[in-house]
C-alpha cells in the first residue's frame, strides 16, 4: 500500500525553533517539507542545509510561488518572525511579524489550510495583567517593546477575523532554549551563553536585580525546552482541538540562578556566578517574572509532561553542547 506524504510548509525554517521542527518531521519520513526563509545567512546554514528532500522557497516570493506552482500544503506552521527584542524600530517588526503574518493567514483562508503560528510571551508585557491565554483578556495586555507589540497586534487581528483557516492555533512561546540557537547571538538562551562562558572563563555573569523584591539572578522565567515545543505542535496537528490562542510554557517559573546552576551541574562543575549591572537599554522593558498558565492546553487534552528545567538543560548540554 502506498502512503501519501503530508506536505508541511514551515516558515522561518533557517531559524532556531523551525529548524529543530523541520529536522524532527523530516526524520519520520512521511512528510514532504516546504521550507521558507531568507536562506542567505551563513550562520543559519546548518539549520537547514542537510534537509535534502525539502523544497526551499525564499521568504519574499513565498505566496506567489505557492500559488503559481499549486503547492497546497496540508498544514502551514508559521514560525518566521523578527524576534530581536532589542530592535526598537517598529516598522521592522510590523512588516515581518504583522503584515507578513496577515498574508499567511489570508492564504490559509483562501485554500482552507490549517495554520499554526508563533505568538510570544512578550505580549504580556510586565505581567501586571497576568499570563492568561483567554482570548477575552487580550485587550488588557500592554507589551513593553516593538517585538511584543507586533505579536500582540497580530493576535488581536486574528481574533477579529470572520474568515478563519479550518483549524488555527496561535502559540505564545515563553523562554525557549535548545539546539540550533547558536546563530541568535545576544538573543540566544542563557543555557547557551552560560555554557560558553563556563568553557571560556569558568564562571557565568548574570544581571543584577534593579528591583528590591528580587535578589541578583533571582529574576524568573518560564523556561521551556525546544523539544517540548515540537511535541506540542505535532500533537496539535494530530488532535486538532478547539482553535485559538494557547500559552506554551511549562507552567513553572524558575530563576536564572536555577538555570545556570543546572548548566554547571550538567557539566559536573561547581557553581560560580558573578553579577553585573543590566544594560540601560533593557531596564525599562525587562520582564522580571513570567509564568504561563497552562490550563487551556491541558483542558484541550494535551497529555504529555514537560521537561523539568534540570532535565532539559542536562539533555541540551550533554547531548548537544558538549558534543
Indicate whether 258 and 123 sit together in one domain.
no
Which of the following is catalytic: 31, 131, 147, 192? 147
322 domain residue, yes or no: no
How buried is 323 (Cβ within 10 angstroms: 0-12 exposed, 13-18 middle, 19+ buried)?
exposed
Q: Which residue range forms the structural domain that includes residue 269?
A: 183-220+254-283
Indicate whether 31 and 78 sit together in one domain.
yes
317 domain residue, yes or no: no
In the chain, the number of structural domains is: 2
pLDDT per residue, tens digit, the chain (323 aa), is 445 889 999 999 999 999 999 999 999 989 999 999 999 999 999 999 999 999 999 999 999 999 998 889 999 999 988 766 666 677 788 888 899 999 999 999 999 999 999 999 999 998 999 999 999 999 999 998 899 999 999 999 999 999 999 999 999 999 999 999 999 998 899 999 999 999 999 999 999 999 999 999 999 999 999 999 999 999 999 999 999 999 999 999 999 999 999 999 999 999 999 999 998 878 877 889 999 999 999 999 999 999 999 999 999 999 999 98
147 is a catalytic site residue: yes
Grid cell at residue 101: 503574518
Indicate whether 24 and 55 sit together in one domain.
yes
318 domain residue, yes or no: no
Predicted pLDDT at 1: 44
112: left (phi over 0), alpha (psi -120 to 50) or beta: left
90 domain residue, yes or no: yes
Indicate whether 156 and 138 sit together in one domain.
yes
Indicate whether 107 and 194 sit together in one domain.
no
Alpha helices (H) along 29-168: 62-69, 90-93, 100-111, 146-160
Grid cell at residue 5: 506524504
Indicate whether 22 and 133 sit together in one domain.
yes
269: left (phi over 0), alpha (psi -120 to 50) or beta: beta
1 domain residue, yes or no: no
Distance CA 195, CA 180 (A): 14
Indicate whether 199 and 77 sit together in one domain.
no
Grid cell at residue 102: 496577515
295 domain residue, yes or no: yes
Predicted pLDDT at 209: 94
Predicted pLDDT at 121: 95
Which of the following is catalytic: 6, 184, 208, 227? 184
Under 8 Å between Cβ of 225 and 159: no
Predicted pLDDT at 24: 97
- According to DSSP, residue 289 is labeled B
**Residue 204: helix, strand or coil by DSSP?**
strand
Indicate whether 13 and 114 sit together in one domain.
yes
The continuous run of DSSP H or E covering 312 comes out as helix 309-316
Grid cell at residue 258: 536555577
313 domain residue, yes or no: no
Indicate whether 215 and 92 sit together in one domain.
no
173 domain residue, yes or no: yes
Indicate whether 300 and 200 sit together in one domain.
no
Indicate whether 137 and 263 sit together in one domain.
no
Indicate whether 49 and 160 sit together in one domain.
yes
What CATH number does the domain containing 72 carry? Answer: 3.40.50.720
Amino acid at each position: 500500500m502506498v502512503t501519501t506524504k503530508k506536505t508541511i510548509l514551515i516558515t522561518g525554517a533557517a531559524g532556531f525553533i523551525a529548524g529543530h521542527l523541520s529536522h524532527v518531521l523530516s526524520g519520520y519520513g512521511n512528510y514532504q517539507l516546504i521550507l521558507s526563509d531568507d536562506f542567505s545567512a551563513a550562520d543559519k546554514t546548518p539549520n537547514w542545509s542537510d534537509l535534502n528532500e525539502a523544497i526551499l522557497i525564499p521568504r519574499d516570493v513565498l505566496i506567489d510561488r505557492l500559488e503559481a506552482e499549486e503547492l497546497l500544503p496540508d498544514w502551514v506552521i508559521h514560525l518566521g518572525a523578527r524576534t530581536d527584542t532589542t530592535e526598537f524600530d517598529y516598522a521592522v517588526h510590523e512588516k515581518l511579524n504583522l503584515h507578513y503574518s496577515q498574508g499567511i493567514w489570508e492564504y490559509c483562508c483562501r485554500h482552507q489550510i490549517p495554520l499554526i503560528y508563533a505568538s510570544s510571551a512578550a505580549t504580556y508585557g510586565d505581567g501586571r495583567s497576568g499570563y492568561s491565554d483567554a482570548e477575552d483578556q487580550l485587550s488588557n495586555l500592554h507589551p513593553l517593546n516593538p517585538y511584543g507589540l507586533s505579536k500582540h497586534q497580530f493576535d488581536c487581528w486574528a481574533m477579529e477575523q470572520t474568515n478563519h483557516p479550518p483549524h488555527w492555533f496561535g502559540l505564545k512561546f515563553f523562554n525557549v532554549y535548545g539546539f540550533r540557537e547558536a546563530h541568535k547571538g545576544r538573543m540566544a538562551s542563557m543555557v547557551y551563553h552560560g555554557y560558553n562562558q563556563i568553557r571560556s572563563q569558568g564562571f557565568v555573569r548574570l544581571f543584577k536585580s534593579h528591583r528590591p523584591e528580587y535578589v541578583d539572578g533571582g529574576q524568573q522565567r518560564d523556561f521551556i525546552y525546544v523539544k517540548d515545543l515540537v511535541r506540542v505542535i505535532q500533537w496539535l496537528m494530530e488532535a486538532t482541538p478547539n482553535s485559538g490562542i494557547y500559552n506554551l510554557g511549562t507552567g513553572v517559573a524558575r530563576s536564572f540562578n536555577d538555570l545556570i546552576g543546572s548548566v554547571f551541574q550538567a557539566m559536573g562543575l561547581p557553581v560560580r556566578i558573578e553579577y553585573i549591572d543590566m544594560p540601560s537599554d533593557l531596564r525599562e522593558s525587562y520582564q522580571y517574572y513570567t509564568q504561563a498558565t497552562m490550563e487551556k492546553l491541558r483542558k484541550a487534552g494535551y497529555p504529555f509532561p514537560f521537561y523539568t528545567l534540570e532535565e532539559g538543560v542536562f539533555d541540551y548540554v550533554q547531548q548537544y553542547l558538549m558534543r
